[in-house]
Structure 1
Amino acid sequence: MIPQIRLRPTRLVLAVVLICAACGVDISNQVLLDIPSPAAVRPDQTEAVLLTNFWLPQEVKGLDLGRELAEFWAAELAVPFKMPVAEREVKFDREDIFSDESFWKELAGGRPKSLILTGRAGFSQETHKVLREVDKGSVGESFTREKTWAVRLSFTLETHLYFIAGETGRIVKDKEFKETMTTSNPKQSVLFALHDLLLQLKMKVFRDAFGASRLQERYLLRQ
């Protein structure tokens, strides 16, 4: 029987380098390659997309967060799936609802090749005061600086998204995200901040769910 040898990733890389060196292979060149990642969601194999309201543990003063999320995702999902997105209202009354396969299957009517996007979300705003130094001008050959307090606003969008197969009610893909932004503009619009964070979030969600390609370093082996 031929013995099996298991190498750790670091040892495996070292072994490859040593073998290449012994064979006179040049591995000094590195290139960036566009490597596609596996897709958990296939728009080309989907015939219906359902979007539910989001579970919002807390309301946001002066902002209809649920409505903004629904309008944003309905418009953005229609692009890769190339079809209108149907909205459904769900009453979130228990923590395990996202893993209840029978509930989601019934919501989609068990329709083959249907997909549901749902989840929970939270949006918050905080005000911070920071001490900074500003130039007051020059006196002779020296510069004078003064310490003043400045206001910083920070916004945070936390979401846990679930892609669920309507035919089976099973979760196809789920992931938690946290997007933040900070601004020195004390009059920053909450609505504009939310949409900026949603655009950041969309790029990550589409990349993870649809398997967008990523640039990765690879070695060129040349004799």
Structure 2
Amino acid sequence: MARVRLSVEERREELLRAAVGQIEQRGVAALRVADVAAALGVSNALVIYHFATKEKLVAAAFAHAAAADLAHLRKLLDRRGSAVKRLRAAIRWYAPTGQAKGWKLWIEGWAASLREPALRDVAQDLDQQWKAALTEVIAQGADAGEYVCEDPPGAAWRLTALLDGLAVQMTSYAGALPRKSMLEWVDDALARELGLERAELSR
């Protein structure tokens, strides 16, 4: 059966989705352009036509995945309700046993970015946008008098560092830490940064 003819943007979207899937399955180091092409039943030349090199394909795939993650983060943080409620929802979604997908993908990306400048730029940009979004909402809640936080950027950095560290542990050593314990630690950290008791987070 003949393949449906796609626009340039549709084809790039298809290739990026396939690349993300192959990176999650094989890792960045083992990934080949041929793997992405084979996953879609297209030629290597078609992948190269759109992305020129494997390195550019990988960087674009991470940027594609990052855009989806950031869009969902902003959706959670832009909801109605208190800053505490929005922050807790976002952090629990982002936590390694939450509903955020692709922790294995991001751990692969962090490792590969040590050697790939283009990928490092993508990962750093995502990290900065995540911290900026958290900082903004933490500052909103402090300004509204919900809690006292004199250093919203520092709080965002510390919360992100905790979540990223837990993600590495939970992804690398599955089952090493009960989900309940991890979520309690995350709530403890959020409450501490906001100067609240943990029970106040769920009010």
Q: Structure 2 length normalisation: TM-score?
A: 0.23
Q: Where is the helix percentage greater, Structure 1 or Structure 2? A: 2
When you count strand as a share of all residues, which structure comes out higher? 1
